[in-house]
Amino acid sequence: MEFISDLHLHSKYSRACSKELTIPNIEKYAKLKGINLMGTGDFQHPKWQEELKEHLEEDDTGILKTNSGFPFMLTSEISLIYSQGGKGRKVHNVIWAKSLEICEQVSDVLLKHGRIDYDGRPIFGMNCPEFVDLMKGVDESIEIIPAHIWTPWFSMFGSNSGFDTVKEAFGERANKIHALETGLSSDPEMNWRLSQLDDFSLVSFSDSHSYWPWRLGREATVFELEELTYDNVIKAIRTREGLKETIEVDPGYGKYHYDGHRNCNISLSPIESNKLNKMCPRCGRPLTIGVENRVEELADRPMGYKPENAVPFRKLIPLSELISTVTGKAVATKSVWSEYYKLVGKLGSEYDILRKTPAEDIEKHVGKKLADFIMKNRNQEIKVIPGYDGVYGVPQLGDAPAEEREPMEFKYKDKQTGLKEFL
């Protein structure tokens, strides 16, 4: 069976997250999206644990189910902030667990290192190898996956605090890491450029802070399993047998693809940014260096390289974003929801529509313009104006590629500092 999974998200107990992120809401919108395996998020939080026990039933598979039989896997994300090699490090790790009993044990050991009740994604001062030892000391079945590995601020390879290799981050515990999360601003093709990552499976999940379908499941990992069990999911991650594909957004859609400054309204390609010594041409401060530039720094292979054992992937922009682009209305407006419901529920889930519903069936419900745009999405033909410094990328309705925009021109503003400004 095919299982489209989103195994990295948060609960209502995480900061900057919807207070309506409950198990019933996650289930409801996962079904609309077409996801049939969800993570719980935040499993170590004491109040969320109580709600998980209230809404989910356990059996011996390691997969918990709601009253209607919808499957969840116990997942969370932990933030590690510490110093190593004379540099401040900020690394997020996703963790998966096999039972609520193991979750309670994780809570107990984390309490010895700090609080777990103030945020669903708590912060600890230990380094990555110590964290691996701590989790594996609870139970060897716990899986640890470095989260959104390229984002600038809180990731293993992040430009502001990250490492240059997995071994540098995890030391002798690197052999306990089997998969890496690509994050919104990178896709597998970008990661294939680093030979050091060949032995790691690449997975994609939403890291959603709400249950809305333009956030939940916007990235997903697709498994093909004879039986849905925790052990079979872990086996697929570790061996790639049963790891069918990942669903990614265009990396330009992510909030940290290009270099830039949000407050200065500055977005720059790596070539443009490097010409400026990575300094903002408006305020003169260091730019937030995005994922594309950071990948280029560490890559030892050319663009377009594909390893022999690479797992396939496809790039899909969420349906709500497509409707918003075509209608010119904000993604959360009534008019976008109206068009969304003309398709979802009548023709299947969102992923059914994005991946396989015939164009003529879509056109009957929403017209040719949107149907054609959905087909362009399916065929990987939509161009995106890249996101930067916390600003999401913007899908383009027209045919002009974002990378073919007119190059920015510069002139020296100050010969002493070498800073430049736009003409």
Specify if 294 maps to a domain.
Answer: no
Specify if 355 maps to a domain.
Answer: yes
Specify if 46 maps to a domain.
Answer: yes
Count how many domains the chain has: 2
* Residue 348 DSSP code: -
- How many contiguous H segments (helices) and E segments (strands) does the chain have? 14, 18
Strand ranges for 214-344 from DSSP E = 220-224, 243-248, 259-261, 266-268, 313-315
Looking at residue 369, its pLDDT comes to: 97
Would you say 243 and 201 are in contact if contact means Cβ atoms under 8 Å apart?
A: yes
**If we measure between CA atoms, which residue out of 77, 78, 70 comes closest to residue 31?**
70
**Within this chain, do residues 152 and 237 fall inside the same structural domain, yes or no?**
yes
**Within this chain, do residues 221 and 353 fall inside the same structural domain, yes or no?**
no
Looking at residue 345, its pLDDT comes to: 83
Give the residue numbers spanning the domain of 185: 2-253
Specify if 260 maps to a domain.
Answer: no
Instruction: State the CATH number of the domain containing residue 210.
Output: 3.20.20.140
Instruction: Read off the pTM.
Output: 0.93
Relative to beta strand 313-315, strand 243-248 is parallel
* Of the residues 231, 253, 275, the one at which a domain ends: 253
**Within this chain, do residues 363 and 241 fall inside the same structural domain, yes or no?**
no
Report the SS3 class of residue 361.
helix
Per DSSP, helices labelled H in 139-221 are 166-170, 188-191
Looking at residue 398, its pLDDT comes to: 78
| Residue positions counted in the chain | 423
Vertex 279 angle, CA 259 and 408, to 5°? 65
**Within this chain, do residues 322 and 248 fall inside the same structural domain, yes or no?**
no
**Within this chain, do residues 324 and 232 fall inside the same structural domain, yes or no?**
no
**Within this chain, do residues 197 and 332 fall inside the same structural domain, yes or no?**
no
Per DSSP, helices labelled H in 139-241 are 166-170, 188-191, 230-239
**Within this chain, do residues 6 and 117 fall inside the same structural domain, yes or no?**
yes
Strand ranges for 44-195 from DSSP E = 64-65, 71-84, 87-97, 123-124, 143-146, 179-181
Specify if 226 maps to a domain.
Answer: yes
Looking at residue 14, its pLDDT comes to: 98
Dihedral pair phi/psi, residue 281, rounded to 5°: -75, -5
Specify if 143 maps to a domain.
Answer: yes
The tokens for 148 are 């959104």
The rounded average pLDDT for each run of 10 residues, N- to C-terminus, in the chain (423 residues) is 98 97 98 98 98 98 98 98 96 98 98 97 98 98 98 97 96 98 98 98 98 97 98 98 98 98 96 97 97 98 96 98 97 96 95 98 97 98 97 86 39 32 28
* Of the residues 253, 286, 301, the one at which a domain ends: 253
- Residue 52: what residue type? L
**Within this chain, do residues 322 and 240 fall inside the same structural domain, yes or no?**
no
Dihedral pair phi/psi, residue 333, rounded to 5°: -80, 160
Provide the angle, in degrees to the nearest 10, between the axes of the packed helices 334-343 and 319-327: 120
**Within this chain, do residues 219 and 361 fall inside the same structural domain, yes or no?**
no
**Within this chain, do residues 210 and 77 fall inside the same structural domain, yes or no?**
yes
C-alpha radius of gyration, the chain, whole number:
22
**Within this chain, do residues 241 and 335 fall inside the same structural domain, yes or no?**
no
**Within this chain, do residues 131 and 32 fall inside the same structural domain, yes or no?**
yes
Specify if 261 maps to a domain.
Answer: no
Looking at residue 161, its pLDDT comes to: 87
* Of the residues 212, 227, 253, the one at which a domain ends: 253
Relative to beta strand 143-146, strand 384-385 is unpaired
Query: How many CB atoms are located within 10 Å of the residue 399 CB?
Result: 10
CA distances from 266 to 67, 125, 263, 297 (A): 49, 34, 8, 21
pLDDT, tens only, 144-175: 999 999 999 999 999 998 999 999 999 999 99
Specify if 258 maps to a domain.
Answer: no
